[in-house]
Structure 1
Amino acid sequence: MGIIKVENIRVFANHGCLKEETAIGSDYRVDIKIKANLQSSSVSDDLADTVDYVFLNRVVREEMAKPSKLLESVAKRILNRFFEEESLITKATVAVRKVNPPIGGDVEMVTIQMTHKRKN
């Protein structure tokens, strides 16, 4: 087994419960941690034998582009796509951070994190 991380993916998106949030949008950061069998790719040196970072980034960008009220919904969609589209992934964690959230205080960011494991 091995771990692949794609960290601090910067995205501008329109998520939130307030109308202003979905109209104006804001900055987000997404971190991904994937657990997969990397033994084959470490020997073959072939992209087809591993989880492609381009795929991971594309899924994040596509799902972040769909407005949602809750970051939990976005994270769940990202996880669902990872497991539906890449059979090598055995476990995945997604953290979605909203920068400067409008919550009535001086808060740098809020983060939700979700993890999913493949069922045998």
Structure 2
Amino acid sequence: MGIIKVENIRLFAHHGCLKEETQIGSDYLVDLEVEANLQTSAKTDKLSDTVDYVFLNKIVREEMSKPSYLLETVGKRILKRIFKEDVLVNKATVWVSKLNPPIGGDVEKVTIIMTDERKK
């Protein structure tokens, strides 16, 4: 087993419960960690034998571009697509952070963390 991490994916998106958030948009950071068997790719040196982090970044960007009220909804969509589109992934965790959230205080970011495992 092994872990692939894609960290600090910087995005601008339109998520939130306030009308202003969906109109104006905000800055976000997404981190992703997937567990997969990396032993085969370590031997073969073939991209087709591993989880492609370019593919992971693409999923994050596509799902973040679809406006949602809640970060939890976006996180679940990201996880669902990873398991649907890459059979090598056994477990995945996603961190979705909204930078400078409009919550009436000096807050750097709010983050949701979600983990899921492949159903056997």
TM-score relative to the length of structure 2 = 1.00
Opposite residue 32 of structure 1, the aligned amino acid is L
Q: Residue 63 of structure 1 aligns to a residue in which SS?
A: helix
CA distance in 2, matches of 1:16, 1:38: 37
- Which SS does the other structure have where 1:68 is aligned? coil
Q: Give the Cα separation in 2 of the matches to 1:99 and 1:82.
A: 24
TM alignment of 1:49-88, pairs within 5 A: 49-88=49-88
Matched position secondary structure for 1:66 = coil
Q: What is the root-mean-square deviation of aligned Cα atoms in Å?
A: 0.3
Are 1:93 and 2:93 counterparts?
Answer: yes
Structure 2 match to 1:26: 26
Aligned residues: 120
Alpha-carbon offset, residue 119 of structure 1: 1.4
Aligned partner letter, 2:51? V
Runs (5+) with no aligned partner, structure 1: none
TM-score, scaled relative to structure 1: 1.00
Cross-structure match for 2:48: 48
| Deviations 1:14-54, CA, capped at 9 Å, x for gaps | 00000000000000000000000000000000000000011
Gaps of 5+ in 2: none
SS at match of 2:93: strand
Give the Cα–Cα distance (whole angstroms) in 1 for the partners of residues 11 and 38 of structure 2.
28
**What percentage of residue pairs aligned between the two structures are identical?**
71
